Structure 1
Amino acid sequence: MTSPATVTLANQITARLTATLAPTRLEVVNDSHHHAGHMGDDGTGETHFTVGVESAAFAGLNRVARQRLVNTALADLLATRIHALAIRARAPGEA
């Protein structure tokens, strides 16, 4: 069993988006090292992320609606632990 202290924030993001959006592709990149010492850096090395997600849940939705789905899935993490989140959300088959 994995201790909650050893579960990375990237793994938590992956688990939440997988459970919520059933993605066909998912990439979670920790960009925090690019922001060390900047505003929002809390010293954990887990504050800035880029998410690339492809899901059928995005079909027919505009960019803002897609980002809202991602933000809703991660709401408590965005409120407490994630300082910045870049989102690339696509439906299957989109370029």
Structure 2
Amino acid sequence: MARIRACLETALAPTRLELIDDSHLHAGHAGARQGGHFTVRIAVPAFAGKRPLECHRLIYGALGELMQTDIHALSIEIVHA
């Protein structure tokens, strides 16, 4: 989780960042062996005026290859600081 947090902080400078590991809720799920299940609650000033899809793309871009290696599923909640 530290790598995920570091990528988001470095790329997006969030004013609020909560990262929750939900992997235990998916034990036995075939994809769970290939990466974790996470929820991210994030507030980023640069998200102002952007549609949710644009914000999600920025988050996925910040996470880069972690989306292929460490993360199997990511639930994103855009929040206000």
Match of 1:78 among 52, 67, 78: 67
Shift of 1:91: 4.9
- The percentage of counterpart residues that share the same residue type is 46
User: TM-score, normalized by length of structure 2?
Assistant: 0.91
The TM-score with structure 1 as length reference comes to: 0.79
- Structure 1 or 2: more strand by fraction: 2
Q: RMSD in angstroms over aligned alpha carbons?
A: 1.5
Structure whose alpha-carbon radius of gyration is higher:
1
Amino acid at match of 1:50: T
Gaps of 5+ in 2: none
**1:41 Cα shift?**
1.3
Amino acid of the structure 2 residue aligned with 1:67 = H
Contact 1:58 1:90 in 2 (8 A): no
Following TM superposition, the consecutive aligned residue runs of length 4 or more in structure 1 with deviations greater than 4 angstroms are: none
* Count of equivalent residues: 81
Flag structure 1 segments of 5+ consecutive residues without an equivalent: 1-9
